[in-house]
Structure formats: C-alpha cells, structure tokens
Amino acid sequence: MQREEFLQQLQLDYIYQHPELGALPLWTSLQAPEYFVLVTLNHGSFAAERLIPALQHLGYKRLSRHAMADRGLLVTQLAPADDGTWLVLAELQLGSLLRKTREALKILIEQTHPWDGQGQNLLCRGRPWPMPDWETFRQLEKMHPLAAWLAVMGPRLHHVGFDCDRLNSDLPTLDGLLNAAGIVASEDRYHGVLPVSTLLEYRFYPGCSRRLAFAGGDEHRLSLGGIALVQKCLSGSTTRSAQLLLPQHTRCVIG
C-alpha cells in the first residue's frame, strides 16, 4: 500500500461515517488537511508499536511522543516527508482503566478474528470486533468516553484537523461557514480527544448524531468524532500547526 492510497482509505471511511462533514467546502480546497487524529489501544496488533512500523514504511517519520496520564493516552506525532497531512496517533492505555472497564473492553477486543488483526491497513477497516450491547457501551462511556468510542468504532480516524492559514482564511470566517451548515463548535476545548497547545486557536466541531444498532437490537443515536479548525496565534511562523498541536509539557522521551 502506498501513502496516498492509505490516506484516501482513511478519508473515504471518515466521509462515510460523517457525510455532513464530508460535504463541507473545506474538502474542495487543493490544500490537504493539516492532520488526522487516529485512535487505537495498546492491545495486540492494534498497539501503536505494532502500527508505527507500517506507517513508517509509508514514508512517515516519528517526531515526538506525548504522555497524557490524566486521559490514559500515549500520543505519537508522525510527519510525512513532504508538505502533506500529519498523523497524530492516540493510543488508549488499557492499564489506565478501572478493572471493570478494562475487562469489558478486552472481552470485545478478544473476539477479533485473527485475519482482522493482520495487514497494513488496520486503521482503515473499521471495528474488527462485535458491536457491544447498549448497557456495556453506557458503562464504558461513564468510566472513559474514549473506551466507549473504541468499542463501537474500533481503531480508526477520529477527526480531521484543518489549518485556517493554509486554507487562506481565518478561524472566524470558517467558523461562520460551518455554523451556516449547522455544524457548531463544542464549548469544551478538550472534546476532540486531546489537550491542545495554547499556541493555537482551536475549535472542535462534533459530527451530527447517527443511529447505530447495538448487540441485542437496541438502536441509539450517537455523535462520534468530528472536525477541528486550528490557527496559529503568532502569524508569520513557518512551523506547521500540527507540530504545535500538543502542549509542550506533555512531551516525553520513551526508550
């Protein structure tokens, strides 16, 4: 698989999950998204250390790692060799979950067919394990929202980030464009999975809710993932917004 094919698969899956976001005029620009936030967990072939070599084979270079103990996340930033889209790989640490939550999630994960845990495109296939029942989802959501998200979505692209400057626009203008399409920013700056550096103006827009069928036949509407807009606070900087995305204090060196 080539890098462009991988990115196209990610984008097509994302647009299928979020058609209202895929229809926004942001996608018609010749400028690629600034970054993709991918979410996985440290279990078997879905662990970051198992996924990163395949991403490096596609031409990505691991630039930094960030530990976020309060969220149970280990995050890796990967940059392409050219001016393309960065990857931000957020790995949920199962050991950070309470035992009941961890066991409920592991029961689902361990039902993955061996064939669904092989290959280079594990982040493009969607959920490889069975859908949880509604009660299990609610329990996971109460204890850790990202664990619940993984239970129903699997290792996947969570949201796409666009840099306003690279779109030759600004945050108020693009915010108005999204509002006109019925897409409203979350009041919670941290709603988009990760804490964001104060070097960036940032807004996260949850996707519209859609109906999902859970194990046992229950159907419920959920909003899963979304889109983000970023703009550097200091104009004139040549540093990519993706590189500035995460707070410096979360950066760590891991052997």
Give pLDDT tens digits for 144-155: 999 999 999 999
Q: Which residue has the tokens 């509604």?
A: 134
Rounded to whole angstroms, how far apart are CA atoms 230 and 161? 7
* pTM of this structure: 0.95
Helix, strand, coil percentages (3-state) for the chain, rounded to 5, are 35, 25, 40
pLDDT at 254: 55
In 42-137, which ranges are E strands?
61-68, 73-79, 86-92
Burial per residue of 225-239, b for 16 or more beta-carbon CB atoms within 10 angstroms, e otherwise: bbbbbbbbeeeeeee
Q: Edge-to-edge strand order for the sheet containing 86-92?
A: 200-206, 226-232, 156-163, 35-41, 86-92, 73-79, 61-68, 251-252
What structural domains does the chain harbor?
A: 3-252 (3.10.180.50)
Rounded to whole angstroms, how far apart are CA atoms 24 and 130? 31
Name the more confident of 205 and 252.
Answer: 205
pLDDT at 252: 81
pLDDT at 238: 86
End-to-end CA distance of the chain, in Å?
A: 29
Lowest mean pLDDT among 10-14, 151-155, 214-218, 251-255: 251-255
Give pLDDT tens digits for 105-123: 999 999 998 887 777 778 9
Mean pLDDT throughout 139-147?
93
Report residue 87 as tokens.
């990857």
pLDDT at 190: 56
Rounded to whole angstroms, how far apart are CA atoms 197 and 251? 12
The single-letter DSSP state of residue 189 is T
Give pLDDT tens digits for 66-109: 999 889 999 999 999 999 999 999 999 999 999 999 999 999 99
The H or E element spanning position 160 is strand 156-163
pLDDT band at 192 (very low <50, low <70, confident <90, very high): low
pLDDT band at 137 (very low <50, low <70, confident <90, very high): very high
- Which residues is 251 bridged to in the sheet? 66
User: Hey, what amino acid is at 161?
Assistant: G
Report residue 185 as tokens.
């920013």
Average pLDDT, the chain: 91
Contact 241/200 with Cβ under 8 angstroms?
Answer: yes
Q: What percent of the chain has pLDDT over 70?
A: 96
- Decide if pLDDT at 48 tops 80: yes
- Which residues is 211 bridged to in the sheet? 221
The single-letter DSSP state of residue 130 is P
